[in-house]
Amino acid sequence: MTTSEHPTTLCTALFASEIRAGLSRPGQKTLPSKYLYDALGSTLFEAISLLPEYGLTRADERILSRYSREIVRHVPTPALVSELGSGSGRKTRWILSALCEREPLSYYPIEISRTALESCESELRDIEHVSIVGVEREYLDGLREVAALRPAGAHLLVLFLGSAIGNFDSGADARFLRQVRSFLLPGDSLLLGTDLMKPLDQLLQAYDDPLGVTSAFNLNLLVRINRELGGDFDLRQFEHVAVLNEATGSIEMHIRSKRRQVVMFRHQEFSVTFAEGETIWTESCHKYTHEAIGELAVSSGFRVEAQWTDEEWPFAETLLLAH
């Protein structure tokens, strides 16, 4: 696997800038969810996917394993595949294997985590007739790069699995998909994973498991900030919380301050004051209905070609065509 690189200094500067901006916001403090996925964060997320309370990943994999051949029958040849946020690549295996049954394939996983790209290569390197070219970029920057490499006449299939679209704020999901659409040609495909609405108790347990793995995943962001930006977050004085936002139909992950405190950032020469009970909003996990998925597609420049649903843990994979 070859990997496009960002200079380390630029990555650190962007990280510092976005952390400072999020923690300095008036009202609700925020941190970008993409920074949850450093080496340890990516490993913790893989552990979350194995928890009995978190059925999303297993539902995603059941659909892809059962219907991969049916899914790829909707994808014209020749094709190249790009994935936004590949993670370990484990569930992507089914789609790539089905496509490689009919032609050699180039696969471009896009990740900001080098650890995730290396894991993806290790997971998928045994598939015959697939060339893996990792792209260490933000989603849209990476997709722009991949689209520029498209051979004349090739069909582009973009994978956005695991309900990552649900991590966007309300309305931001449609804006993001419109940006994705801008890099596609009419007839190109987007396979979109979406978690569906389910009972509240089931949702809350999925994002606040009894073992505390999700808590460790969330709080690891503070560990990363301490390590890379010279922060002095005392993890004993913060806790993970998951709450339902009924207005948006989303589970939100927050980090709550247990007391009034000031956190210093030695490398960045600024500080942040927290009130007792104040939270940092780190991630949203929006849940969809079938109707909402169709509306999202139309508003973003796509139409629904086909959809597959898991009933054990309500989850959908929807193939969208750019028009």
Helix (H) or strand (E) holding 214: helix 213-229
What is the spatial distance between Cα 33 and Cα 167, in angstroms, rounded to a whole number?
Answer: 8
Give me the pLDDT at residue 3, please.
Answer: 36
Same domain, 157 and 294: yes
**Is 291 exposed, middle or buried, given 0-12, 13-18 or 19+ CB atoms closer than 10 A?**
exposed
Give me the pLDDT at residue 6, please.
Answer: 41
Same domain, 189 and 72: yes
Give me the pLDDT at residue 61, please.
Answer: 95
Same domain, 182 and 124: yes
Same domain, 208 and 90: no
* pLDDT surpassing 90 at residue 120: yes
What is the spatial distance between Cα 152 and Cα 264, in angstroms, rounded to a whole number?
Answer: 53
pLDDT digits (tens, 9 = 90+) for 40-62: 998 999 899 999 999 999 999 99
Distance of CA 234 to the CA centre of its chain: 27
Write the secondary structure of 173-199 as one string of H (helix), E (strand) and C (coil).
HHHHHHHHHHCCCCCCEEEEEEEECCC
* pLDDT surpassing 80 at residue 16: yes
Query: Would you call 137 helix, strand, or coil by DSSP?
Result: coil
**Is 292 exposed, middle or buried, given 0-12, 13-18 or 19+ CB atoms closer than 10 A?**
middle
This prediction has a pTM of 0.87
Are 18 and 33 within 8 A, CB to CB?
Answer: no
What is the spatial distance between Cα 96 and Cα 72, in angstroms, rounded to a whole number?
Answer: 9
What is the spatial distance between Cα 132 and Cα 1, in angstroms, rounded to a whole number?
Answer: 5
C-alpha closest to that of 31 among 16, 44, 43, 51: 16
117 lies in some domain: yes
CATH code for position 70: 3.40.50.150
Cα separations in angstroms, 80 against 47, 77, 108? 30, 9, 8
279-286 sheet: strands from edge to edge: 29-30, 279-286, 250-257, 238-245
pLDDT digits (tens, 9 = 90+) for 82-115: 999 998 899 999 999 999 999 999 999 999 888 8
What is the spatial distance between Cα 52 and Cα 50, in angstroms, rounded to a whole number?
Answer: 6
Same domain, 36 and 113: no
Q: Are strands 302-310 and 130-136 parallel, antiparallel or unpaired?
A: unpaired
pLDDT digits (tens, 9 = 90+) for 207-226: 999 999 999 999 999 999 99
4 lies in some domain: no
Cα separations in angstroms, 32 against 118, 218, 226, 265? 23, 12, 16, 18
C-alpha closest to that of 29 among 250, 275, 286: 275
Q: Which of 163-177, 232-246, 271-285 has the lowest mean pLDDT?
A: 163-177
5 lies in some domain: no
2 lies in some domain: no
Same domain, 294 and 220: no
Domain residue limits at 43: 14-48+200-286
133 lies in some domain: yes
Share of the chain above pLDDT 90, in %: 85
What is the spatial distance between Cα 273 and Cα 270, in angstroms, rounded to a whole number?
Answer: 10
Same domain, 154 and 256: no
